[in-house]
Structure 1
């Protein structure tokens, strides 16, 4: 262990260095080291004094040379805390080193695992952003990705699906993702959650029936075919996109698909969770520049509707008709009288010149609506360069 820590002191901030730092702390966790040994190893790894504070325990501090200190240093350059006043820190007189954040993050994670009572730990709290980024990035070497797969506890021979989770109401995406998957997924073998930018990345590797993940997630939000049932989904702003099932070494592909599907999601509706496998040809919209979509006459006409309250109501009626295929079902979906829906559809037909009583007119409207939603989606554009440097 000491030999590994010595080797790490000369590493740069590459993905290899991140993986080795993670491996060092995983070794400490596997050895079930006490708080003192964890603090001493952290100080040696960071090459500066490190400390751990636990309520009802003495503060533990070690220098990088392994000498134990008394008391709490007045100025800590980096600190990480978790529940009930637990914290770890690094004491560095100058500016933080490039790897300090990762070292402290891994120290805090190890401390949570080793020093927290088992009944206070939640599996989704143990995900590591650095490992998740290595898993879904296109840039790491096959060896680095294989190492990340192993450290995340994934079975390299069993398919997984990546899920991109975000919110429309300023919720923390990581917490939203834990809420979404924490309701219980049948046959779930492993769940890992990490926040990357403004989107949470969720790794799901169930023991069986991997195709049921989207419907299970919708069930967790209490979605019904014609709207929301009473429950979390009625007030939730959580949205998610689910990538295709792939083997772990192909996780970047599933992640990109999940990010793309996320752009088609609509909060507080049955479309809050979108399965990329269900998009079909609609996924081709991602290859069309937004400005080109907006220049299309059909999309531009619907975009003009959205500028007024009456126009937005007409758009809602049009979307309901396209979804259900009938005026009466559209009225049920929107909780309105069918005559009101009929009036709004007639007004829309007059404005845009489409025959919404024909299958061709409804198809045309459906494509324009999807394009308009895609263009104005608040979700981030898929990150095609994650992890490339």
Structure 2
């Protein structure tokens, strides 16, 4: 390597510098440094503050050229951040806080720092990647898997024996790895696509951590196979006003998921809702009224005057064939709306 660097230096001084940067990081890897030491060495080499951030922890490691922690955020990183990738998943980013114009070798340094960071994370942690082999995830959640094979799959996924594992079924434009990190920033979590649904396995799930734009069904059982069945059912009950549904909160309406689709289509109330769907405003009004059980609260939710909502409900009741303002009519409408959405799943 040294002989190659000497020969190349006779052709281009910048190439020699790049080779020396590569050798510098190769030496760090042989010494098995941790992330703070890696950031400290990088800052010393670059003679400006260097930073490392992992998505799984959210904490930034920033070191100054003198080897101490950088006291405060520096200027906008230049030439920008470089992603850290492990197993085809972006797990973090690295950067240099160099004021002014970047130096010619900054890009090479950042590339090597990103590679070294991935190697350190793979060796020591603090976090493994979120994405998992879909076949392994499917084995863990399948009801046809025997318990010995399921336990082995969970162990390979990183879940300790005896830990409860809950399953979440999601539909989201947000990448599954980012979503998994948001849900469980400090606990074991794995994700993979299975068919047209994203699957997330975690020891705990906080429904409040789901970002906007995500539809999610959360299984209540601690066994992954049972939790997966429940998560898929809960996902079918999600709606614009209820994007995240925990199966444990469904109660008796969960039984609707067991009704054959043809039986639901033949029901007069469900068929009436299907016809009503030609007017989205009517469906939205009915949904708000069923969700609140109150004319005035539905009006507040829709940002309309209560008299306007009342007129709409009269017309909707005529289309459905029963009085919505009566308790029995409200129950019928709510169940029919749920059943119609299950057909649309």
* TM-score range for the pair, normalised by the shorter chain length: 0.5 to 0.7
Task: Write the deviation string for residues 127-170 of structure 1: whole angstroms up to 9, x where unpaired.
Answer: 23232121112233332222112222213322221000113xxx
Q: Relative to structure 1, is the Cα distance of residues 81 and 317 closer, same or farther in structure 2, using a 3 angstrom cutoff? A: closer
Correspondences of 1:120-269 after superposition (within 5 Å): 123-167=128-172, 171=173, 175=175, 177-185=176-184, 189-206=187-204, 213=205, 216-217=206-207, 219-221=208-210, 232-233=211-212, 236=213, 238-246=214-222, 250-267=223-240, 269=241
C-alpha distance after superposition, 1:16-49 (max 9, x if no partner): xxxxxxxxxxxxxxxxx99xxxxxxxxxxxxxxx
In structure 2, relative to structure 1, the CA distance for the partners of 1:81 and 1:123 (3 Å cut) is: closer
Distance 1:161 1:333 in 2: 33
The change in CA–CA distance for 1:137 and 1:325 in structure 2 (over 3 A counts) is: same
Q: Does residue 286 of the first structure (1) align with residue 257 of the second (2)?
A: yes
What CA distance in whole angstroms lies between the structure 2 residues aligned with 1:306 and 1:155?
48
Residue by residue, what CA displacement relative to the aligned partner does 1:321-376 show, whole Å, maximum 9, x if unpaired? 11101111101111222121111001112222322221111001101110011111
Report if the CA contact (8 A) 1:166-1:200 is conserved. yes
Q: Is the 1:190–1:204 contact (alpha carbons within 8 Å) kept by the matching residues of 2?
A: yes
Paired with 2:282 and 2:200, the residues of 1 have a C-alpha distance of: 36
CA offset at residue 288 of structure 1? 1.2
Contact 2:180/2:190 (CA < 8 Å) preserved in 1? no
RCO higher in 1 or 2 (8 Å CA, sep ≥ 6)? 1
Measure, in 2, the Cα distance between the counterparts of 1:113 and 1:244. 40
Rg bigger for which structure?
2
What is the aligned partner in structure 2 of residue 276 from structure 1? Answer: 247
Asked if the contact 1:162/1:201 (under 8 Å) is kept, the reply is yes
* Residue 328 of structure 2 is aligned to residue 357 of structure 1: no
1:166·1:239 contact (CA, 8 Å) conserved in 2?
Answer: yes
Contact 1:164–1:258, Cα closer than 8 Å, also in 2: yes
- C-alpha contact 2:140 2:154 (8 A) present in aligned 1: yes
Quote the Cα distance in structure 1 between the aligned partners of 2:147 and 2:117: 31
Output the CA distance in 2 between the equivalents of 1:197 and 1:121. Answer: 31
Partner of 1:339: 307
Alignment of 1:47-62 (within 5 A): none
CA–CA distance in structure 1, aligned partners of residues 315 and 290 of structure 2: 16
Contact 1:180 1:220 in 2 (8 A): no
- Cα distance 1:315–1:113, how it changes in 2: closer, same or farther (>3 A)? farther
Change (3 A) 1:179 1:340: farther
- CA shift in 2, pair 1:123/1:354, >3 Å: farther
TM-score of the two chains, using structure 2 as the length reference: 0.62
Unaligned runs of 5+ in 1: 1-32, 35-79, 84-111, 207-212, 222-231, 378-389
